[in-house]
Amino acid sequence: GSAGQSLGAFLCKGVTINVYGDSNDYVGKGLSGGKIIIRPPSSSQFISKDNVIIGNTVLYGATSGKLFAAGIAGDRFSVRNSGAESVVEGCGDNGCEYMTGGSAIILGTVGNNFGAGMTGGIAFIYDKQGTLPVRINLEDVIYQQQMTDYWEKYLFSRILEHHNLTMSSHAKYLCDNWKTEKYCFWQIIPKEMLNKLKHKTIVDSTKSA
């Protein structure tokens, strides 16, 4: 079915919401430790990575918890997120805007102005088409394709978790073909966090403004 506005708003630790369908704007607003899983109905013939499943301004002001959505998010995904972890399969414009913590893994293309005002957290984008360099806002972030062992393992484990929870065929494909597909990922790191993250991020050369 379809869920309305603000699904899982301020959801606390220990509570999980499963949706077999789609949802509107502000999913996970103020998420506070809970888990939200959104996937197409089993009868659906849609390809998750090519279809929108959640609306705009998802995870606005989230502080902790997890979101897994087998489909594309709208504009302003993970805006002002300060601690939640998420996996989606694409997003619209202004993704990770003013993000200050947590992580965002996006298994598909993003819209324009990605990472504007992003001062914390970390993001990963699967960029098979090579479009990220013209869509990212480099004022506050840098990006690189080669990752340290820690972050590669982190990324793979979250994609595998995404598949296990949503049965996403796209996530399964990435896991099954990891040795080649991992090179299609960009890691986005806020400049302010380069020397503050617990685990090393910079491998060698990076792209910046």
How far apart, in whole angstroms, are the C-alpha atoms of residue 209 and residue 205?
13
Q: What's the CA gap between 78 and 57, in Å, rounded?
A: 7
Measured CA to CA, the distance from residue 133 to residue 207 in angstroms comes to 9
Q: What is the pLDDT along the chain (209 residues), one digit of tens a residue?
A: 788 789 999 999 999 999 999 999 999 999 999 999 999 998 888 889 999 999 999 999 999 999 999 999 999 999 999 999 999 999 999 999 999 999 999 999 999 999 999 999 999 999 999 999 999 999 999 999 999 999 999 999 999 999 999 999 999 999 999 999 999 999 999 999 998 888 888 876 554 44
Contact (Cβ atoms closer than 8 angstroms) between residue 159 and residue 87:
yes
pTM: 0.95
Structure tokens at 167: 């049965």
